[in-house]
C-alpha cells in the first residue's frame, strides 16, 4: 500500500513539472509548430 502511495505522489509531481515546463516553453512550441506548418504547406 505504501509503495502505491509513493508511486502516485511521484507521478503527480512528474505531471506538474511537465505542465510547468510546457507552459514555460509555449512560445517555443508555437514557433516550432508554425515552422512545421509552413514547411508542409509550402510544397
Q: What is the DSSP letter of 43?
A: -
Q: What is the DSSP letter of 25?
A: T
Q: Tell me, what's the pLDDT at 9?
A: 95
Q: Tell me, what's the pLDDT at 43?
A: 62
pLDDT in tens, 1-43: 898 999 999 999 999 999 998 888 888 888 998 999 998 988 6
Q: What is the DSSP letter of 1?
A: -
Q: Tell me, what's the pLDDT at 25?
A: 86
Half-sphere exposure of 8 (CA within 13 A, CB side): 5
Q: Tell me, what's the pLDDT at 24?
A: 87
Amino acid at each position: 500500500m505504501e509503495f502505491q502511495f509513493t508511486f502516485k505522489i511521484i507521478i503527480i509531481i512528474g505531471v506538474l513539472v511537465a505542465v510547468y515546463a510546457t507552459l514555460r516553453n509555449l512560445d517555443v512550441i508555437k514557433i516550432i509548430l508554425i515552422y512545421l506548418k509552413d514547411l508542409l504547406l509550402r510544397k
